[in-house]
Amino acid sequence: KQEVTQIPAALSVPEGENLVLNCSFTDSAIYNLQWFRQDPGKGLTSLLLIQSSQREQTSGRLNASLDKSSGRSTLYIAASQPGDSATYLCAVTQGGSEKLVFGKGTKLTVNP
Amino acid sequence: GAGVSQSPSNKVTEKGKDVELRCDPISGHTALYWYRQSLGQGLEFLIYFQGNSAPDKSGLPSDRFSAERTGGSVSTLTIQRTQQEDSAVYLCASSPLIRGKAFFGQGTRLTVV
């Protein structure tokens, strides 16, 4: 059974700092991996999707990497801003399945 | 264009009552998913639709839960004889492709009292 773990559960940083969020998964036979952002009381917003054949994806100040063989992904946020404060969720789509398996998220607070 | 729309946004119901939760996906999106997010828990998969058929219902927690999708569009999640443990945020997502980027609605917060 696929399990997704995100460390740390919470992170507080000063504005302007570069930071890395970590995601690990137990079964490397994934189809793709997505990073989402969830604001309090809101739904999820997809940030980046990495196919299993890809190593990284970039969007603005965000860069996500994938090392499928070791079961790891990282989300790098450059020059963090208070508006980046949210919970960041990692999810994988298992090969042969259509459903997303989520981690429990990292709650990020960027202090002005 | 419009995103995924869910209604109601909040629902308080008495234990034992039936509830219906609605999801309007993005037009043209073939895949539709229901997830549940309980306090302190991660997102839990419930059911997946491809068009009007549900190839994967493995996440439905009991036979009190059912879902349907009509016209390849709107989906309804029905919970019969609600229990307090059903209290959670129910999230719907749609995608233009199987295993593609998922677009989530704002969710329905269900409270069973």
Question: A40-94, pLDDT tens digit by residue?
Answer: 888 899 999 999 999 999 999 999 999 999 999 999 999 999 999 999 999 999 8
B99·A32 Cβ contact <8 A: yes
* A53 alpha carbon, distance to own chain's centre: 17
B98·A98 Cβ contact <8 A: yes
**B53 lies within 8 A of chain A by CB:** no
**Alpha-carbon distances, residue A93 vs A15, A31, B9, B106 (angstroms):** 33, 5, 27, 21
Residues 26-45 of B with CB under 8 A from A: 31, 33, 35, 41-43, 45
Question: B14-28, pLDDT tens digit by residue?
Answer: 999 999 999 999 999
